[in-house]
Structure 1
Amino acid sequence: MVIDVTFNTTKISKTLAISGRFNNRQLAQSIGYPIVDVHFWSDIIKHQQSTDSRSSDYIVLVVISGGITLGLLPFAVLRILQQDWSIAIMNSAVFAATLLLFLHLLITKRVEVARVGLAVITLFAMTATIYLKGAQNVLWVYPALTTSFFLLSPSIAAIITLLFLFLVIGMIWTQVSFLLLLTFSISAGATFLFSFAFSKRMRTQALFLKQLATIDPLTGAGNRRRLEEKLIEIVNRIKRTPENVCSLIIFDIDYFKRVNDSFGHACGDEVLRQFSALMMDHVRESDSFYRLGGEEFVLVLENTQLFEAKKLAKKLAAAIEQTQWHLPELTITTSAGIAQYTEAESNYDWLQRADEALYRAKSNGRNQCFTSLDLSSAS
């Protein structure tokens, strides 16, 4: 659902900029700056936030932890009634652990904690069952192996399950014939290798798809969807730790339409690529760079105050102006709007303030850097 919403809104507003309720909208239109109301995007962002908790991983883990909890309860009760105390204690412990994990997942929605917890509980339960009940329960090793690779990263799952297999073999080797032990070792080893290879391939494909969904293919910068996720992440973190600061800069390539009209869209694409490469070469590893749409880009500067962000924006704008482009007759400049996050505002309000500062920079003759405070002092 999240992917569909993002795709549709991106298609509708591929070259639109966020403006919101801004007193100088006529000025924006007069300088050829397309606008769309910020509250449209706020609805999209709120919808994305509400659907994040319903991701497929979250739902699957809720079903697994809830199913294990319900499935273990009758066995724990049965073992108690049969006075099989060793198994009863083990079943009760596993039931209590999965119940706590299920409740923790529902409350916090932290899927990584649930993944590790479920893997540990599964392997412990299988090991304890074989230890207490003997080699006849060894077939439970196979679902334990595949479950571990489903829940954990391939490398971590490989280490844990190898230790688990050696432990199981050590427990059963005196209870079964050599042929049965050899058969089990080979089949369990094959299951291990297949699970590892499949998990590795699926993780690689998932990473590739995530990059496709969050990286702008032309410039290599993060796309608008990734920017929205980043801003939400920063706002939530600053609300928890208000001592943190963060600023963002919106850059707009001046008169970019003239580049396309005069030299063609291929030339315009090359300008966008070079512009992005230059920006990413001049910022810190902790900073993040995104393409907002068209010729607009956003640089997010964590642990950076407004005056520092403005200083950097001027430095980057000067570097752009002095750059030798792929065509000698090209001269490219950029305008910038800068805003530091302030307490209690939303991520789209923060972006809107930077966008209004960008409007002022463009209306002031372009090749300018304005901050949100510059707007306050001017008014």
Structure 2
Amino acid sequence: MLEKKRSTEELIILALSSASTVCLLPFLAWRTIEQDWLVAALDLLAIMVAVGLFIHVYITRNVIYARWVLAILCAVELPITIALKGPAQIGWIYPAIIAMFMLLSPTIALMLSLTMISIIGGILWSQLNSLMYYQSLFSILATALFIYAFTNHMFRQQQILRQLSIKDPLTGVGNRRALEDKLLELMSYKRAHRDNTSTLILIDLDQFKDINDHYGHAIGDQILITFASLVNQKLRNNESLYRLGGEEFVITVANKNRDKASILAEEIRELVDLFLFTNSIHLTISIGIAESQAKETTLDWLGRADAAMYKAKGAGRNLCCVAA
């Protein structure tokens, strides 16, 4: 089975934690030589946390807590360092703000940044003259607001692009890429929890080519849209519909064995058989059902469902068949 590629969030945390370690090590060495023990201890703590997060994310690939820990580390360590070492450390606030916006959602990052800026503003109030104080404060605020405006726009664009990348443009259900990601997720969970099982329901619309040839592709497309909508109405939690390609669809049924999934498959087959589509077209479907097995790949799993579906077609269509 192909290993799932690392997500953007994982790569960001791995990059930031390693960069933090590399940047802080020289300062740790310098402050140790200078016997500045308090700040050296602070740098050492930050390095240990960064290294720990790198190892944690690299091994577990879990970023939920890591991104929060790294962002809070930036927001907490910098005010303490400025309080101990004075205004000379203020330049570190800019990379700290950028890091927070890379780790958290734009709104949360802005709130955390403003909190940090407020604390640092209070610390520097008595250490800078009025002109220098307000210049520094407003330049930092402007930086935070500019980054927020940019990342918020990019965040929205990213959400739109992600939806486009995982949705079938015709029917609006998940596409093949989304299905592959889901299969990897289900198989990984199966390997971690041996007693857990999930099931695939592979559906093929019978003699769909004849419908396209006779009525045209516009009618065929409308039937696919209606079919996807019809099936989606039957699905419950942990059940998702994907378009595999052409007139083939797949339903992933998480945490249910083939017996329970077969009940759903039969309900869908009967529903389609009784439904009249555009131009009063009667449509039937053939279904293959395959329960996950611990030692198989996602392709093997999908292949068994496909073989069961072709067995249903060979037996006369409008049937459900369960894979061995």
Name the TM tier (shorter chain).
over 0.9
* Structure 2: segments with no counterpart, 5+ residues: none
Indicate the residue corresponding to 2:112 in structure 1: 160
SS in 1 for 2:278: coil
Aligned-pair distance for 1:366? Answer: 0.6
Q: Residue 94 of structure 1: which of 42, 46, 52 is its match?
A: 46
1:111-126 residue pairs with structure 2 within 5 A?
A: 111-126=63-78
Indicate the residue corresponding to 1:235 in structure 2: 187
Cα gap change, 1:189 to 1:321, in 2 (>3 Å)? same
Q: In structure 2, how many angstroms separate the alpha carbons of the residues matched to 1:290 and 1:106?
A: 30
Q: Residue 341 of structure 1: which of 292, 300, 305 is its match?
A: 292
Aligned-pair distance for 1:274? Answer: 0.6
**Is 1:270 paired with 2:233?**
no
Contact 2:276–2:283, Cα closer than 8 Å, also in 1: no
Q: Which digits, 9 at most, give the CA deviation of each residue in 1:96-143, with x for residues without a partner? A: 222222333333343444433332222233112111011232232222
Indicate the residue corresponding to 2:127 in structure 1: 175
Indicate the residue corresponding to 1:79 in structure 2: 31
Q: In structure 2, how many angstroms separate the alpha carbons of the residues matched to 1:58 and 1:302?
A: 25
Indicate the residue corresponding to 1:220 in structure 2: 172
Q: Residue 161 of structure 2: which of 195, 198, 209 is its match?
A: 209
Contact 2:241–2:250, Cα closer than 8 Å, also in 1: yes
Q: Which digits, 9 at most, give the CA deviation of each residue in 1:316-351, with x for residues without a partner? A: 1111122232212x1111111111113322222221
Indicate the residue corresponding to 2:212 in structure 1: 260
Contact 2:238–2:255, Cα closer than 8 Å, also in 1: no
Indicate the residue corresponding to 1:356 in structure 2: 307
Aligned-pair distance for 1:57? Answer: 4.8
Indicate the residue corresponding to 1:189 in structure 2: 141
SS in 2 for 1:219: coil
Contact 2:234–2:268, Cα closer than 8 Å, also in 1: yes
Q: In structure 2, how many angstroms separate the alpha carbons of the residues matched to 1:303 and 1:309?
A: 10
Aligned-pair distance for 1:283? Answer: 0.7
Q: In structure 2, how many angstroms separate the alpha carbons of the residues matched to 1:351 and 1:159?
A: 46
Q: In structure 1, how many angstroms separate the alpha carbons of the residues matched to 2:53 and 2:322?
A: 47
Cα gap change, 1:248 to 1:326, in 2 (>3 Å)? same
* Matching residue's letter, 2:285: T
Cα gap change, 1:105 to 1:285, in 2 (>3 Å)? closer
Indicate the residue corresponding to 1:65 in structure 2: 17
Which moves more between the two structures, 231-240 or 186-195? 186-195
Aligned-pair distance for 1:361? Answer: 0.7
Percent identity (aligned): 37
Indicate the residue corresponding to 1:282 in structure 2: 234
SS in 2 for 1:251: strand
Indicate the residue corresponding to 1:295 in structure 2: 247
Aligned-pair distance for 1:178? Answer: 3.2
Cα gap change, 1:87 to 1:108, in 2 (>3 Å)? same
* Matching residue's letter, 2:221: D
Q: In structure 2, how many angstroms separate the alpha carbons of the residues matched to 1:372 and 1:168?
A: 64
Q: In structure 1, how many angstroms separate the alpha carbons of the residues matched to 2:307 and 2:18?
A: 49
Cα gap change, 1:106 to 1:343, in 2 (>3 Å)? closer
Q: In structure 1, how many angstroms separate the alpha carbons of the residues matched to 2:138 and 2:19?
A: 31
Indicate the residue corresponding to 1:368 in structure 2: 319
Aligned-pair distance for 1:56? Answer: 5.1
TM-score, normalisation: structure 2: 0.93
Q: In structure 2, how many angstroms separate the alpha carbons of the residues matched to 1:97 and 1:312?
A: 48
Q: In structure 1, how many angstroms separate the alpha carbons of the residues matched to 2:144 and 2:189?
A: 40
SS in 2 for 1:339: strand
Q: In structure 1, how many angstroms separate the alpha carbons of the residues matched to 2:98 and 2:224?
A: 46
* Structure 1: segments with no counterpart, 5+ residues: 1-44, 374-379
Aligned-pair distance for 1:67? Answer: 2.6
Q: In structure 1, how many angstroms separate the alpha carbons of the residues matched to 2:266 and 2:12?
A: 49
**Is 1:325 paired with 2:274?**
no
1:10-21 residue pairs with structure 2 within 5 A?
A: none
Indicate the residue corresponding to 1:140 in structure 2: 92
Q: Which digits, 9 at most, give the CA deviation of each residue in 1:270-301, with x for residues without a partner? A: 11111101111111132111001110000111
Q: In structure 1, how many angstroms separate the alpha carbons of the residues matched to 2:16 and 2:256?
A: 43
